[in-house]
């Protein structure tokens, strides 16, 4: 996840927080209608704070955890001078979490960057440890099918309002089910020159059924598997490019 040291300032240009921002209001309506109640929320891999900002604005108490200090700095900019109940905490979500008694743990646009099923299981166990009994762990995942779709178009050119240029290229490894995102940015300098930087993100595909089984083996019941529009997915039968897991701690 070290790529975020360079990508932090380009996070909004790339639109990396748009999915979280769009999902939060619909997600909270869904889980509340499904019976969830609570006040204290932990946002794993909070990034620039797109999820956390919406949550905090709606009178919840939020702790956002991210491994990148640069991303946490972006989160502070996202919140600006707004006096909201948000605490940013630097830490690797694969390590023991310095929080407890959470009513909800969310992780949006995080798990495809997890490097192995063992690490995936560790994060699930960490979420389980900090949740109150019968409360929810909600996270999303690009499916293997979805990662293949993301490889097209293979090259994009993006320009932001500051005249920074960003070249985005994708490469998919079918054998390992890995999508590699290569970013090359050209930033203007005071000398009217452009400084070039290269960054790489690696997204890994995981079978939806395998993740459902991991949750079951580690103290969760899978209440729902949803598409981004919150239609239900029947695991093993319904095709989806991205899924949202709603799991309940036993």
Q: What does DSSP assign to residue 39?
A: S
Residue 9, domain CATH: 3.40.50.150
Predicted confidence (pLDDT) per residue in 240-249, tens digit: 999 999 999 9
Strands 194-204 and 178-188: antiparallel
Q: In this structure, are 61 and 177 located in the same domain?
A: no
What's the length of the chain? Answer: 250
CA-nearest of 138, 113, 145 to 215 is: 138
Dihedral sign for Cα atoms in the order 26, 122, 75, 9: negative
Q: Average pLDDT, stretch 149-176? A: 78
Q: Has residue 1 got a pLDDT over 50?
A: no
Q: Rounding to the nearest 10 degrees, give the CA dihedral for residues 89, 28, 35, 135.
A: -20
Q: In this structure, are 161 and 190 located in the same domain?
A: yes
C-alpha to C-alpha distance for 129 and 98, rounded to whole angstroms = 11
Q: In this structure, are 68 and 183 located in the same domain?
A: no
C-alpha to C-alpha distance for 155 and 28, rounded to whole angstroms = 35
Predicted confidence (pLDDT) per residue in 219-242, tens digit: 999 999 999 999 999 998 888 999
Residue 161, domain CATH: 2.20.25.110
Domain containing residue 60: 4-142+206-249
């Amino acid at each position: 996840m070290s790529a975020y040291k360079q990508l932090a300032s380009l996070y909004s240009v790339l639109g990396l927080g748009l999915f979280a921002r769009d999902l939060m209001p619909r997600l909270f309506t869904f889980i509340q209608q499904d019976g969830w109640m609570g006040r204290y929320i932990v946002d794993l891999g909070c990034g620039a704070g797109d999820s956390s900002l919406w949550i905090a604005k709606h009178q919840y108490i939020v702790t956002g955890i991210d491994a990148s200090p640069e991303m946490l700095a972006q989160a502070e900019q996202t919140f600006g001078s707004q006096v909201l109940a948000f605490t940013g905490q630097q830490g690797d979500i694969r390590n023991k979490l310095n929080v407890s008694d959470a009513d909800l743990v969310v992780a949006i646009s995080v798990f495809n960057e997890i490097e192995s099923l063992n690490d995936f299981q560790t994060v699930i166990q960490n979420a389980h440890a900090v949740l109150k009994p019968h409360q929810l762990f909600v996270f999303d995942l690009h499916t293997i099918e979805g990662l293949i779709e993301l490889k097209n178009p293979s090259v994009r050119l993006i320009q932001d309002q500051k005249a920074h240029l960003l070249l985005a290229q994708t490469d998919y490894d079918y054998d390992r089910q890995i999508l590699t995102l290569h970013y090359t940015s050209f930033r203007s300098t005071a000398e009217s020159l452009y400084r070039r930087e290269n960054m790489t993100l690696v997204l890994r595909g995981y079978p939806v059924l395998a993740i459902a089984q991991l949750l079951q083996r580690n103290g969760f019941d899978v209440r729902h598997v949803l598409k981004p529009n919150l239609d239900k997915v029947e695991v093993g039968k319904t095709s989806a490019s991205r899924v949202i897991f709603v799991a309940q701690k036993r």
